[in-house]
Amino acid sequence: MAVITVERKPLTFLERTYLPQIAGGLKTTFKHLIAPKKTLEYPEQRPAIPVGYRGVPTLVKDPNGREKCVSCQLCEFVCPPKAIRITPGEIPADQADRAHVEKGPQAFDIDMLRCIYCGLCQEVCPEEAIFLQNQFSMSGYTRAEMVNHKDRLYELGGTLPDAHHKWDKKKAAEEHGNTH
């Protein structure tokens, strides 16, 4: 590597007085003084959430309003801080619209004091039932308040569009006499 000798010019008299630099600095700060403010005033103004943002994990329903989660417990197993607790349950026989759904969680708790927002649950979920969505602020006065139960998770999650319609296909296949 060649060594390049940079000539260092001695400071001029004006530069040594430091005054032109001060004047330049004052000019810059004055520009900022009258420039529009860059701050978001938080509770009233919210930041735009970028695509792919990992916020609070939520459970989502399919377009028919059914739970997508089948309580396979993969997210519970993959969760690094063990924030997820699932109690698997059967689908009650009296719910006709859920007749073709395999299973559903009886209880689904995510402890937000443990969650590290890594998104592994979303990645591992075979049913596309758990998503880290846009909510970024979680607060509560007690530890119990910081645990999101199943109903709260669905309330946060809402319904997302679904490309697969797995249970509809299963129902149609069954009506045609195929098991799958």
Partner 1 sequence: MFDFYFEIPLVIRLILQGLAVIMVIFPIAGACSMAERKVAAWIQDRPGPNRATVPWVAWIPFLGKFLQRLGVFHVMADGGKMMFKEDSLPGHVNKFYFVLAPIVAMIPALTTVVAVPFGAYFDAAGKLIPLGLAPLDIGMLAVFAVSSLGVYSAILAGWASNSKYPFLGSVRASAQLISYELSMTLAVLPVFLWVNAPGTEGTMGFARVVEFQSQPGFLGGMWFGFLMPISAFIFLVALFAETNRQPFDTVESESDLVGSFHTEYGAFKWGLFFVAEYSHMIVGSGVFMLLFGGGWNPLPWVSLATAVEFLGTFLPFAHAPLFVGILSIAIFMGKVLAMIFFFMWVRWTLPRFRYDQVMKIGWQKLLPLSIANLLFYAIAIALIQK
Helix %, strand %, coil % for the chain, to 5? Answer: 30, 15, 55
Query: CB–CB of 112/146 below 8 Å?
Result: yes
Q: Does 39 bind partner 1 (CB under 8 A)?
A: yes
Sequence-ordered list of residues with C-beta below 8 angstroms from that of 74, at least 6 positions apart, any chain: 124, 125, 126
- How crowded is residue 162: how many other Cβ atoms within 10 Å of its Cβ? 17
| From candidates 11, 15, 28, 116, binder to partner 1 by CB under 8 A | 28
Window of 6-14, 29-37, 98-106, 153-161 that interacts with partner 1 by CB under 8 A: 29-37
Q: How far is the CB of 11 from partner 1 (least distance, A)?
A: 15
- 8, 9, 38, 180: which one contacts partner 1 (CB under 8 A)? 38
- Tell whether residue 37 is a contact of partner 1 (CB under 8 A): yes
CB of residue 16 vs partner 1: minimum separation in angstroms?
Answer: 10
Residue among 159, 147, 140, 130 at smallest CA distance from 85: 147
Residues within the interface to partner 1 (CB under 8 A): 22, 25-26, 28-30, 32-39, 41
